[in-house]
Chain A
Amino acid sequence: MRALDIKLFRDLWRLWAQVLAIALVIAGGVASLVMAVGSYRSLDETRTAYYERHQFADVFANVRRAPNTLASRIAEIPGVAAVDTRIAKLALLDIPNFRQPATGQFISLPESGQPVLNHLYVRLGRLPEPGSLEEVAVNENFAYAHAFRPGSRFSALLNGRKRELVVTGVVLSPEFIYAIGPGDMMVPDDRRFGIIWMSERALANVYDLEDAFSSVTLKLSRDASEPEVRGRLDALLDRYGGSAAYGRKNQASHEFLDHELDMLNNMSRTLPPIFLLVAAFLVNLTLSRLVALEREQIGLLKAVGYGSLPIAAHYIKFVIVIVVIGVAIGGVAGTWLGILVTKILGDFFRFPFLVFIQSPDLYVVAAGLSLAAAILGAVRVLRDVVALAPAIAMQPPAPPVFRHFLPATFALGRFVSQPAMMMLRNIGHHPFRAGFTLLGMALATAILVVSLFTRDTMEQLIYVTFFMADRQDATVSFIEKRPQNVVNQVTRLPGVLAVEPYRQVAARIRFGNIERRIMLSGRPPDSDLSRIIDVDLRVVALPESGLAISGMLGKVLGVHVGDSVEIDLLEERRRTVSLPIVAMVEDYFGIRGMMDAGALARLMREAPAVDSVQISFDESQREALFHALKAMPVVSGMALQRVSLENFRETLALIVTSMASIYTGLAATIAFGVVYNSARISLSEHARELASLRVLGFTRGEVLRILLLELTLLTVIAQPPGWAIGYGLAWIMQTNLEGELMRVPLTVSNHTYVLASGVVLAAAVLSALVMRQRVNRLDLVSVLKTRD
């Protein structure tokens, strides 16, 4: 082995702690990219494979009652590859040991067993026997929530008649990865909403739907135009009481899953690049200082006859080895974390299988960026050092010329101790170095802030949504719209304190070429349980006429208050109307339109109707209320706000915060690497000064204090800019997370700032402890013989 290469390995060994700390900074950046993008790709690919293998439909429509013979006409629509007709009905359930009214989405299974589309994956047991009036299969989440196994029993109120049912199988369906029940806000409540598959013959019998269907799903051929197929399907179903067909984009499960994956994707596009860039910058900074310390050795190598290029190559090799170690650690850690995240989320979504995607491109990008940053850092210094004459390079740089802050006669020394003065002059003399170190520490704080702020955001979102806007105790939904007097009926139920009626109509909203499918909700004037809250957290009063829409919808459509939009009403007598936008509401969930209930009734040309009510009730009477609701055949379900909140925390918040925890860990690793390296290099740069002080009689503690004074000052000063940069990064991330299904408010609590700074300060303290060992080992004898 060449002598220079031996030197390389000895140097790496000698500086192992620093090499490791720098490698960890790189690893933090690399791991975040590999983990985030890798897990997103794996989950996305898993979903695609699941959809394909299980024939997930492309178009969905509900109808009151259509004859089975219509199926062949639907199949003739150009672009339709497969048709699956079925019976789909909501019904109240009565589950042993569960007092709250639960809801079942009943779906028929053909005689052949598996449906044509949306194949089921049987996790446990078997599908129900064709024609069986009691056998059912249930979705896994629901089964899990009630500990159902094959043989478990519960009952359902099917078409007004209570029937005993027995579970034969636990299944998964690509159509119900996310099963949102009536009245649920954003997240599934698996205890009170289940998907229940039952023999078609049995359901047809119960609901008088022999030779008829109430739901149809279509698979389209590759070149089909979805809007055209939907239009033709609507035309066919119209006379049978069909509601407008919708594509996957508006299919609840797909929409929510899409949003979750989108969030994951957006997080992976926001945080890892920031991490990687920060790591690259810090590595550039650190390695340039490390190479600068080698000045004397470079001079020596030149003196014995090495050319500039071999010397430069030697140090670049040194830097490359460090980067390779970092990329290797980051790659392994990132892959492991990526698999972990894929498994956790795959389990959460209950995918029947997982597809892990290897992403060599990520390693190339991460390694390339880290290498470039590191080599640039080294070259920047080498260029200057290699250019020096060997004799000069071998000497340490001439003592730098310091300047007085103030005129020499003004004795600043009276107010500041000499060690403090040393530190202030050092900072003043190397403003760029101090500035970059400061920036490095600030960035460490910033990436911690941006990793931690999602928790604050979730809490703010919960506060506004659950405690300011939707303050009802429960939402009671009806199977079909009811006349206004249902309010009186509900008011008379035991324990009910207040009732507010709501009407929801499916609609398409259009402005220019852009259209979206939304729910148009008619709200009672001066509603108090459920309120509309604007971005300044003020209650918005809905005008008597005109339309209020979500701010996000306004952004998507490009409309402003005062513009008129076209609305296709997709229920009852369908027609298209034009409405002025009178208000935009900065809400966090979904895109919706809101108007006065009376105005909506006039628009629908119907008597005021209700399809859900929001209620508050006396907690002491809840059992009686549950009992009474279960006896109301018109009720399709009841969502408790408290439970919705719990579920929200467990699901959406879980994903966001668990990802945030991983990012926080990686950010903390980077932060430690930065602080440790700053301290360590500072020690190397000042080793001789500090050893002199020890010889002059300064104790180890005093010398350590002098060394750490600068680090402490820079760390402390770096915090406010770190918070500011962190807030900026949080803004970028919040903007990237913004979607039609959910937005998050930009909230960074003081707690987050304190925690982020706490981690950086803890890293500083840890580094200080390591430095203490080093100071204790300072070589005092060599100081006497070596030049300043």
Chain B
Amino acid sequence: MSDTIYTAQRLSKIYGSGAAEVLALHDVDLEITAGEVVVLLGPSGSGKSTLLNILGGIDHATRGRLFFRDIELSALDERRLTDYRRKHVGFVFQFYNLIPSLTAYENVALVTEIAENPMRPDEALAHVGLEDRMHHFPAQLSGGEQQRVAIARAIAKRPEVLLCDEPTGALDSKTGIQVIEALLDINAKLGATVLIITHNAIIQDVAHRVLFFADGRISKTHKNETRRAAAALDW
């Protein structure tokens, strides 16, 4: 685990200007190793989502430099950033963001159709244990199942990074735990680096590393010597 996947140098993000200026991210330095599971904790507005968005290539830093391996993301234009997302990043959203008019299978196929070396959609769905439900529409699935479809959609392209913004935020504890299990499973089997934003402090126990955010900075870093299995969590 010595292979660095992200390197951030004095990364800052400022929203607005003048009196309305908000410093969302303040001179953040960070290195993330390939295959790591990192949990980002902190109150609302502490900067964790801003960092995740910049890492995922859907937002730009105002200052500082950011590298994905040896690609400088902070220097890429919109077209190259799209290409970067397409090839390397899988997103999991709090509210799933599935296309309601497509079945589980088709939602995954939506991504595999544009990816370079994807899994088959049914294979991706099998990873999250939904092979039996693949012809169901989102409205016919429970919240946990929808989030697992979203995960299948995210991993089907064999991404190097999975960025998850409050993946369990809209779920009850049982289904939330299933979703965390699925994410750890992907990390273990496919070696994908997983970054999870959460408000739920209990989830930090599954991570290799926990980043605590406050006022746009990483206030504390904690390494788990022993990680708990998702099944052992309870909230």
Contact = CB atoms under 8 A, between A and B. Distances in A.
A786 B169 CA distance: 12
Interface stretch (A259-267, A307-315, A394-402): A394-402
B114 A698 contact: yes
Contacts of A398: 139
Contacts of A429: 101
Given A413-B105, A696-B85, A785 B165 contact: yes
Nearest to A697: B86
A253 interface: no
Interface stretch (A209-217, A418-426, A499-507): A418-426
B26 interface: no
Nearest to B59: A781
Interface in A708-722: none
Contact of B106 (A399, A400, A409, A421): A421
A399 B96 CA distance: 12
Contacts of B53: 780-781, 784
Interface in B70-122: 78-79, 82-83, 85-87, 89, 91, 93-103, 105-107, 109-111, 113-115
B22 interface: no
A418 B106 contact: yes
A694 interface: yes
Contacts of B209: none
Contacts of B114: 697-698, 702
Given A401-B140, A408-B103, A418 B97 contact: no
Contacts of B157: 697
A699 interface: yes
A281 to B, nearest CB: 27
B110 to A, nearest CB: 4
Contacts of B89: 697
B91 A696 contact: yes
Given A697-B85, A788-B98, A399 B109 contact: no
A698 to B, nearest CB: 7
Binding site secondary structure of chain A: helix
A692 B165 CA distance: 13
Contacts of B105: 413
A425 B153 contact: no
B144 interface: no
Interface string B125-163: 000000000010111100000000000010001000000
A400 B102 CA distance: 11
Nearest to B159: A697
Interface centre among B78, B91, B110, B140 (most CB of A within 10 A): B110
B56 interface: yes
B178 interface: no
User: What size tier do the contact residues of chain A reach?
Assistant: 35 or more
Nearest to A429: B101
B33 to A, nearest CB: 24
B100 A402 contact: yes
B213 to A, nearest CB: 16
B101 A694 contact: no
A702 B111 CA distance: 12
A700 B99 contact: no
Contacts of A409: 135
Interface string A376-397: 0000000000000000000000
A399 B82 contact: no
Interface centre among B59, B99, B102, B103 (most CB of A within 10 A): B99
A102 to B, nearest CB: 74
Contacts, number: 111
A693 interface: yes
Nearest to B165: A784
Nearest to B53: A781
Interface residues of B, number: 44
A689 interface: yes
A784 B93 contact: yes
A118 B106 CA distance: 83
A426 B95 contact: no
Contacts of A418: 102, 106-107, 109-110, 113
A413 B109 contact: yes
B82 A700 contact: yes
B7 interface: no
Interface centre among A425, A699, A784, A788 (most CB of B within 10 A): A784
Given A404-B135, A422-B102, A784-B49, A697 B82 contact: yes
Contacts of B190: none
Nearest to A427: B101
A488 interface: no
B58 interface: yes
A533 B120 CA distance: 71
Interface in A770-788: 780-781, 783-788
Contacts of A413: 105-106, 109
Contact of A785 (B49, B86, B87): B49
A688 B97 contact: yes
Nearest to A699: B82
A695 interface: yes
A787 B103 CA distance: 19
Contacts of A408: 103, 135
Given A413-B105, A696-B111, 7 more contacts: A401-B137, A696-B85, A696-B153, A697-B83, A700-B78, A784-B165, A785-B165
Interface of A: 398-404, 408-409, 413, 417-419, 421-422, 425-426, 429, 688-689, 692-700, 702, 780-781, 783-788
15 contacts: A399-B137, A400-B139, A402-B137, A402-B139, A688-B97, A693-B110, A695-B56, A696-B91, A696-B110, A696-B111, A697-B85, A697-B115, A781-B58, A781-B59, A788-B95
Top 4 closest pairs, chain A to chain B, by CB: A697-B86, A408-B135, A425-B101, A692-B97
